[in-house]
Structure 1
Amino acid sequence: MAGLTLYTNPMSRGRIARWMVEEVGADYDVEMLGYGGTMKADAYLAINPMGKVPAIVHDGHVVTECAAICAYLADAFPDAGLAPVAGEHADYYRWLFFAAGPVEQAVTNRSLGVVPTDDQQRMVGYGDYDRVVDVLEAAVSAHPYIAGDRFTAADVYVGSQVMWGTQFGTLPKRDAFLAYAARLADRPAHVRASELDDAAMAEMQAAG
């Protein structure tokens, strides 16, 4: 039994965590959970009381939230070279948490039809959707990767937001977004993770 277990569902943000696990090259076990079933069962709620995926358990330690999982695994498996090095920390943490905070909130609210008024924009962490998109575009345009000239764990999370957003229409298909996504899509770990999750999805759908 591996010291790392991924709790996920192939139709969830768990695909981000799967990609990150594949990037670090660790041996890991997978527990596939169903919405409304095993995801809400006592056994899993003991791991993540939110009843949501993904979560990882590494050597007895629980980590939830995709951005946290990416940052944790980069530190836990330093040989993968995905943690920030000198000169990268500021952009690495800034854009990792910008994507986990303002981008996630702005995209979710827009998808739900929630548009803050001018006064409400002072209360929400992202201000307004258009501003978030413009700032994100500038971030992915500044360097080949989000923290500089090389791929890091922050690109797993930010890149997932951009790839999903442009694919499903929650982000506009601006040239900078498409170019950034293209730099990430062919990474062997991303391809491998996508194939594994696509196969798991087919199995779950076939099982009903």
Structure 2
Amino acid sequence: MTATPVLYTCARSRGLRATWAAEEAGVNIDLKVLPFPPRYLVPEYKEINPLGTIPMLIDGEARMTESCAIAHYLASKDGPSPLVVAPGEPDYAAYCDFTYHADATITFPQTVFMRFVLFEKDKGLEEAGHAYAKWFWKRLVKLEQRLETREFLCADRFTVADICCGYALVLSENVGLDEGVPDSLKVYRERLKGRDAFKRAVAREEAGLKALEEAGR
């Protein structure tokens, strides 16, 4: 009997990409929600993931720590899926590009903003954090232009690329970065948030967070 994949994450973190992908693909996962940041609050977690980062997926011998890669993996692990654009399809290159673009170009400046403006205010680096906020807003132009003539990013359907880029837009709303997000991308975000699988993913993570709070973690 094949063991159920285990996903370690924190509610509302980049791990939501993986939780969401699992819900969209109908893949059963053992979701383990940790307090944030786990490397300090759950030191034993570093025995599982020496980086101390989340998310972390364990599936048999597989060990994965990149949220976009995990989302792609979960969506495709059981075979071809409409959530993944396959080699040979016209938008295969765009699918790869936007899936990687999500973390490398969009989420990166968000994390710098969060660190220096929200988490480490006492270090006098808020100005740098706000500079990265502007960087984030400017980097949204690629998404904005891509979605001018289409409902989803690739192949005329919802894919993992939408999960990965869409999460960055959800994060901007949650951490005070919505000021510079174009209205067209806010409409796109609301369309994604209306998906049943997104709602289930959020509910699962919030339930895990509530359980932690009730346990005093």
Q: TM-score, normalised by structure 2?
A: 0.79
Name stretches of at least 5 consecutive residues in structure 1 with no aligned partner.
118-123
CA contact (8 A) 1:5 1:56 kept: yes
- The answer to whether the 8 Å contact 2:57/2:64 transfers is yes
1:37 aligns with 2:41: yes
Equivalences for residues 90-129 of structure 1 within 5 A: 90-111=93-114, 112=116, 113-114=127-128, 128-129=135-136
Displacement of 1:80: 4.0
Q: What percent identity do the matched residue pairs reach?
A: 27
Cα displacement (A) at 1:27: 1.9
Residues 26, 116 of structure 1: alpha-carbon distance in 2 compared, 3 angstrom cutoff: closer
Amino acid at match of 1:59: G
Q: Which amino acid aligns with 2:96?
A: Y
Question: Residue 148 of structure 2 aligns with which residue?
Answer: 141
How many pairs align?
Answer: 197
| Two-structure CA RMSD over aligned residues (Å) | 2.5
Confirm or deny: 8 A CA contact 1:96 1:158 kept in the other structure.
yes
Q: Is the 8 A contact 1:48 1:55 kept in 2?
A: yes
Contact 1:23–1:80, Cα closer than 8 Å, also in 2: no
Contact 1:7 1:33 in 2 (8 A): yes
CA shift for structure 1 position 198: 1.4
* TM-score, scaled to structure 1: 0.82
Partner of 1:121: none
1:185 equivalent in alignment to 2:193: yes
Is the Cα–Cα contact under 8 Å of residues 11 and 201 in structure 1 kept in the other structure?
A: no
- In the aligned structure 2, how far is the partner of 1:103 from the partner of 1:143? 20
Q: CA deviation at 1:180?
A: 0.9
CA shift, 1:11, in A, is 4.4
Of the structure 1 ranges 153-162 and 163-172, higher mean CA displacement relative to structure 2 is found in 163-172
Task: Please give the alpha-carbon distance, in whole angstroms, between the structure 1 residues aligned to 2:69 and 2:173.
Answer: 23
Q: What's the offset of the Cα at 1:115?
A: 6.8
How far has the Cα of 1:151 moved from its partner?
A: 0.5
Q: For the structure 1 residues 165 and 115, does the alpha-carbon distance in structure 2 shift closer, same or farther, using more than 3 Å as the test?
A: closer
1:196 equivalent to 2:200? Answer no
The letter for the 1-side match of 2:74 is L
Secondary structure at 1:31 match in 2: strand
Q: Which of 1 and 2 has higher RCO (CA within 8 Å, sep 6+)?
A: 2
Which residues of structure 2 form unaligned runs of 5+?
Answer: 117-126
Q: Secondary structure at the match of 2:72?
A: helix
Aligned residue type for 2:158? F
